[in-house]
Structure 1
C-alpha cells in the first residue's frame, strides 16, 4: 500500500454543501470559501494525489492532477433550466491521458448530496468516439466469450454493469442477435460500474483504500475496452 496522503474530507464537507444548496448565491459562497477549501477542495486534491500514486503502482491507467482533474463547483448555467450558480457536489475525473474529457476509460469520484448526485465512484468507458463504440459492439457479437468473461470477473468482485442511458432498441445491424445478455450489452451507450460511498465514511482516510480496491475490481472492464481500442490504432 502506498503512503496515505489523504486524511479524509472535513466533517463540515456535506453540511457545507447542504448550506450552499439553501443559499445559492455568490456572497454566501465568498464568505464561506475558506470552509469550502479546507473541508472539500483540498481534501479532494489529497485524495487525487493518493489514488494516482496507487493506480500507477498497480498499473491502472488513471492519471491526472490534484487541481486540473477537479470539476468546478461553479456551474455553467448558460443553457440550463436550473440557474443555480453552484453545484451541490464536488467531483474529479482521472483518465489515461490525464484529462477530464478523456474517452479512453476513466475513474470518477463524486462527493455530494443524495438528492442530486450523492457520494459514489465509477469506472467507465464514457461517451466514447463513435468508432470505438461501434468496435465494442462488434466485439460483443464476434467474441462474446471475452465479453462474458469480463462480466463474470466484475461479478466476482461484486460489480455489475450499469444500465444507465441504455438504448430501448437494439442498434441497427445487430437485429439477428438473440442472446438476452448480448442484446443488453449492445444497447449500452456507455460501459460503467458504480460504487456507492457511505456519506458517513468520507471523513476517514480509509476512503482511499476503499476506492483503490474498487478500481482494482473494475480493472477487467478497462482491460476489455483497452484491447478493443488497440485494434483501432493504426
Structure 2
C-alpha cells in the first residue's frame, strides 16, 4: 500500500549528523526507531508518492519502498574506510523499478547536500558508444535536447568527463560536440534546500525538476531503443 509523503521529520538531518559522529552499530540500534520515523519511512513514502506522480505525468519512472532505497549501511569489504554507515540516504526510480536500469531519477538526502538527478549514469559500453555516435552524427538532435534543458534552467553535468576524446571521435571538432563525446555520463542535477525537505512541497519540486529534465531521458531512450 503506497504511503503519502508528508515530509521528513525535523530530526532527519540531526539523526544523520549524530550517526556520523558515533558510527556505531550499538548507537544505531538504540536509535533505530528515530531513524525509521524521521528518515526511512518518510523516504519510502516519498518514493511511492513520486512513483504515482511520475506515472500520472507519463515519465516512465517508478519505484517502491522495498526495491528503490539504498541501504544506509556501507559496504566496507573492499574499502579502507571501515565506518559502517553512510552520511546520507538515497533512492532510484527507474523504467523497470530496479536499480540496474538506465535513464533514472535519483534522490539523495545527506549531511553535505540534498539533491536530485536524472541520469544515464555509467551506461554500458554499447550504449555509451551509441550515445557518442549520435552526438557526432546527429548533432541537431543532441543540440535540441541541450536547448530544451536550458529552457528549463538545466544543463548537462561535466563531472568525470574524459580529458581527451575517446577513440574514434578524435575528429569531432565543434567545441560543444567535442566536449559532449568525452562524457562518461549524461546527467542533470537539482539542488534541494535542506530546509525544504520537511513539507509535501518537496514532491512538487521534484516532479517539476524531472519534467524539465525529460529531454535527456527522451534523447537517451531514442538511442537505447535502436540498440536494444
Range of TM-score over shorter length = over 0.9
Counterpart in the other structure of 2:53: 54
Are 2:129 and 1:154 equivalent residues in the alignment? no
Secondary structure in structure 1 of the residue aligned to 2:108 = strand
The 3-state SS of whatever aligns with 1:175 is coil
Runs of 5+ unmatched residues, structure 2 = none
Residue 118 of structure 2 corresponds to which residue in structure 1? 123
Report how many aligned residue pairs link the two structures: 226
Classify the secondary structure of the residue corresponding to 2:199: coil
Query: Which 4+ residue blocks in structure 1 deviate beyond 3 angstroms?
Result: none
Aligned to 1:33: 32
For residues 81 and 60 of structure 2, the distance between their equivalents in structure 1, rounded to whole angstroms, comes to: 35
From 97, 100, 106, the counterpart of 2:104: 106
Q: Distance in 2 between matches of 1:232 and 1:100?
A: 21
**Root-mean-square deviation (Å):** 0.9
Q: What SS class does the counterpart of residue 227 from structure 2 fall into?
A: coil
Match of 1:201 in 2: 196
Partner Cα distance (1:81, 1:89) in 2: 19
Q: Structure 1: which 5+ residue stretches go unaligned?
A: none
* TM-aligned CA deviation for residue 57 of structure 1: 1.0
Counterpart among 219, 225, 228 of residue 230 in structure 1 = 225
Q: TM-score, normalised by structure 2?
A: 0.97
| Deviation of 1:61 (Å) | 1.5
Cα displacement (A) at 1:13: 0.1
Residue 22 (structure 2) aligns with: 23
1:165 is matched with 160
Shift of 1:67: 2.2
Tell me the TM-score normalised to structure 1 length.
0.95
1:48-77 per-residue CA deviation (whole Å, 9 max, x = no partner) reads 111000111111121121121000001110
Partner of 2:206 in structure 1?
211
Deviations 1:95-150 (A, max 9, x none): 11111122x20000000011xxx200000001111111000000001100000000
